[in-house]
């Protein structure tokens, strides 16, 4: 399983450029479903035929990244942020620019501290003040490498295994969700109709979730995601509600209710499954971000939707960290929830 996750996390695909991840998702599922389609926006939908009701399993394929905005006369590249970055996490990172002549490597630079005045050192450096250096001496050299305005950029980072069955890497948000779906589809024993969906452009507006849910109009949906773990220095004990190795995270409310308020029957379904199957889980009430579930549950006349997430440290940093123990609990919960769909209707 670590090899699949490594393959997904090490693949590159910012919002709107998810092609590489889509091919991995397809190759992993094609022998376990009846057919696979790609919709007009680029979402991949794997259909497993079966009985009603139909269940949508969704995870987004895109990662946060950058895009070439301009190239200076002396060969430095200014960039646009695609998705939610904390600017300071970009400083001095290696990046991959995906140009017309393949992958080219560079580093994100800024004014070094040695040349800063004391008041400058006290201020946060904004992304607008940074640039990418590929070693070029001129704009012409950059362009000869196949790099132009609009070329997508990702972090040059690989998944690594840590101690205690934990891993770190870029794009765990939400490649781990895709891995959850792939493994869950292989384990589901019931004969219900399944739609396994890799969505596009979640990080910039939940766009793929809207069109894919509208197309397939499932009876129920589960979004496979990541949740912010809070078990690290700097927080009071009462704030450490979601913990690594605490088990699967079941969302109750996200974005303070502006995103998803999970229906009680969906919560009952997921919790009763976890209790019956002895799956370790924790509940999340969040005033932070949201997921594809926000778009899915508002599609057409409304689709009951839950979210099962892997607790994750250092979200949107390029060094996101999870426990494979939690991943396994999430896979069990998603697959067993479908096998225990009776709890949804009780």
The tens digit of pLDDT for each residue in 148-163 reads 999 999 999 999 999 9
Where are the chain's structural domains?
2-63+170-345, 65-155
Q: Give the Cα separation of 237 and 5 in Å (integer).
A: 31
At 63 the pLDDT is 98
Q: Which fold has domain 65-155?
A: Elongation Factor Tu (Ef-tu); domain 3 (2.40.30)
**Which CATH architecture does the domain made up of 2-63+170-345 adopt?**
3-Layer(aba) Sandwich (3.40)
Contact, 288 vs 298, CB < 8 A? no
Q: What is the pLDDT of residues 263-301, one digit of tens each?
A: 999 999 999 999 999 999 999 999 988 999 999 999 999
At 233 the pLDDT is 86
At 115 the pLDDT is 67
At 123 the pLDDT is 84
Q: Supply the residues annotated as catalytic.
A: 202
At 30 the pLDDT is 97
Q: Give the Cα separation of 243 and 109 in Å (integer).
A: 34
**pLDDT confidence bin for 110, thresholds 50/70/90:** confident
Residue 85 in this model has a pLDDT that exceeds 90: yes
Q: Which of 335, 35, 334 is nearest to 190 (CA)?
A: 335
At 141 the pLDDT is 97
**pLDDT confidence bin for 119, thresholds 50/70/90:** confident
Q: What is the mean pLDDT of the chain?
A: 95
At 159 the pLDDT is 97
Q: Which of 88, 93, 62 is nearest to 174 (CA)?
A: 62
The rounded percent of the chain whose pLDDT value lies above 70 is 98
What pTM value is reported for the model? 0.95
Residue 112 in this model has a pLDDT that exceeds 80: no
At 238 the pLDDT is 65
Residue 120 in this model has a pLDDT that exceeds 80: no
Q: What is the pLDDT of residues 190-228, one digit of tens each?
A: 999 999 999 999 999 999 999 999 999 999 999 999 999
Q: Which of 189, 129, 150 is nearest to 335 (CA)?
A: 189
User: Nearest 5°: phi and psi at 221?
Assistant: -140, 145
Pairing of strands 51-60, 192-199: parallel
Across 2-19, average pLDDT: 97
Distance of CA 58 to the CA centre of its chain: 11
Instruction: Specify which residues 44 forms β-bridges with.
Output: 38, 198
Same fold: 2-63+170-345 with 65-155? no
């Amino acid at each position: 399983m670590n090899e699949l996750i490594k393959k997904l996390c090490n693949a590159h695909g910012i919002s709107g450029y998810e092609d590489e991840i889509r091919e991995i998702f397809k190759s992993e599922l094609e022998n376990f479903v009846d057919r696979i389609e790609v919709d007009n926006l680029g979402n991949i939908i794997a259909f497993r035929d079966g009985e009603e009701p139909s269940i949508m399993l969704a995870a987004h394929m895109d990662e946060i990244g950058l895009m070439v905005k301009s190239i200076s006369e002396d060969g430095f590249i200014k960039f646009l942020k695609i998705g939610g970055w904390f600017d300071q996490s970009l400083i001095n990172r290696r990046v991959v620019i995906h140009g017309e002549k393949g992958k080219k490597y560079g580093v994100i630079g800024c004014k070094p501290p040695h040349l800063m005045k004391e008041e400058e050192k006290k201020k946060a450096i904004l992304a607008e003040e940074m640039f990418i250096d590929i070693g070029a001496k001129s704009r012409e050299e950059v362009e000869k490498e196949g790099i132009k305005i609009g070329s997508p950029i990702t972090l040059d980072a690989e998944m690594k295994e840590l101690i205690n069955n934990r891993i770190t890497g870029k794009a765990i948000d939400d490649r781990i969700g895709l891995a959850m779906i792939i493994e869950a589809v292989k384990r589901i024993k019931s004969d219900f109709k399944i739609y396994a969906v890799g969505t596009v452009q979640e990080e910039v507006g939940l766009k793929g979730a809207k069109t894919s849910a509208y197309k397939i109009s499932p009876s129920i949906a589960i979004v496979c995601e990541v949740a912010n773990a809070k078990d690290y220095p700097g927080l009071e004990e009462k704030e450490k509600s979601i913990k690594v190795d605490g088990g699967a995270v079941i969302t109750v409310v996200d974005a303070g209710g502006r995103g998803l308020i999970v229906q009680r029957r969906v919560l009952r379904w997921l919790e009763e499954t976890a209790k019956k199957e002895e799956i370790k889980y924790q509940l999340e009430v969040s005033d932070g971000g949201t997921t594809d579930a926000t778009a899915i549950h508002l599609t057409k006349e409304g689709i009951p939707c839950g979210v099962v997430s892997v607790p994750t440290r250092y979200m949107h940093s390029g060094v996101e960290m999870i426990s494979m123990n939690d991943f396994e609990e999430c896979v069990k919960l998603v697959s067993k929830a479908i096998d225990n769909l009776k709890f949804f209707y009780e």
